[in-house]
Amino acid sequence: MTEPIIRIENVHFAYNAQSENPIVALTDINLEVMPGEYLVIVGHNGSGKSTLAKHLNALLLPTQGDVWVNGMNTKNGAHTLTIRSTVGMVFQIPDNQIVATVVEEDVAFGPANLGVPEDELRERIDWALDVVDMQNFRHRAPHLLSAGQKQRVAIAGAMALKPQVLILDESTSMLDPAGREEVLSAVRRLNQAGTTIIAITHYMHEAVEGDRIVVMEAARTVTQGSPREVFSQVEELRALQLDVPQVTELSYALHQRDETFPPNLLTVEEIVAEIIRRKELEVAT
């Protein structure tokens, strides 16, 4: 059986753990991520999503419990560098992550610092810019790019380190619809090429992209499953005041009026097909 690439065991974490008023951010988290998986973490501000993400590449260490990346415990300082080149991270605001004045130099920054030889460096830059579809911009200045393009450069920069896992921490929340679609399709391509994806998002129609969704609330994981399983729990999600995609909301509203209508459709294509199927059935009978 394949080993999980990330294993989180009984993790507790508190900010200012030693002080009088520790702020508990993670409580009893247990989670495994398999290689090649596309995992989405959703939850409100302050639910612990970003804190959890920062545990996956040793930016934070658990107060209790253990995080294992490829069998390496993040608490072992000797593994920190290996872990950080295994798990790459892209944040919300690309400007904070871009360091160079030319796109290709920015992408080269990470691997060049690791001492990757010139020839391989060129290959990696080409590959990373290809994956995010930014080859045509390689000689441009990052600050003159659109937000979606900048975010794709930031992803390319993370990918040039050839991580096995890419974490996207609300990497689309500052983007307009077109920019969001650009980034999502780049992420989809990476995942198809075998990269494990862990995406943190507020946008429920983006969560539908994942193989598995984990919902966090008040420092705990409260539910998880495939998008269809999770979004079937419309009432539970509403109780947590989380959004469901409009398609699912509509599908659930129609189900309430007619029990035979499926309550948990996820995509526009699915619901349109279902409505058409029903109309055709009607004509046939």
Positions touching another protein (CB under 8 A) are: 43-46, 92, 146-148, 170, 173-179, 202, 205, 240-243, 245-247, 249-250, 253-254, 257-258, 268, 271-272, 275-276, 278-279
Q: Which of 175, 173, 150, 54 is nearest to 99 (CA)?
A: 150
CB of residue 83 vs another protein: minimum separation in angstroms?
A: 28
Name which of 68 and 203 has its Cβ closer to another protein.
203
Based on CB atoms, which residue is closest to another protein, 126 or 274?
A: 274
Task: State the minimum distance, in angstroms, from the CB of residue 230 to another protein.
Answer: 14
Q: Give the CA diameter of the chain.
A: 72
Nearer CB in complex with another protein: 23/114 = 23
149 vs 195, beta carbon nearer another protein: 149
Per the listing, tokens 């035979």 go with: 260
Which is closer to another protein, CB of 87 or CB of 147? 147
CB 38 within 8 A of CB 166: no
Token pair for 244: 């469901």
CB of 259 to another protein, least distance (A): 13
| Residues ≥6 apart with Cβ < 8 Å to 177 | none
Q: Is 258 exposed, middle or buried (0-12, 13-18, 19+ CB in 10 A)?
A: exposed
Residues near 45 by Cβ (< 8 Å), separated by ≥ 6? none
CB of 269 to another protein, least distance (A): 8
Report the alpha-carbon distance of residue 33 to residue 209 in Å, rounded. Answer: 16
Q: How far is the CB of 231 from another protein (least distance, A)?
A: 13
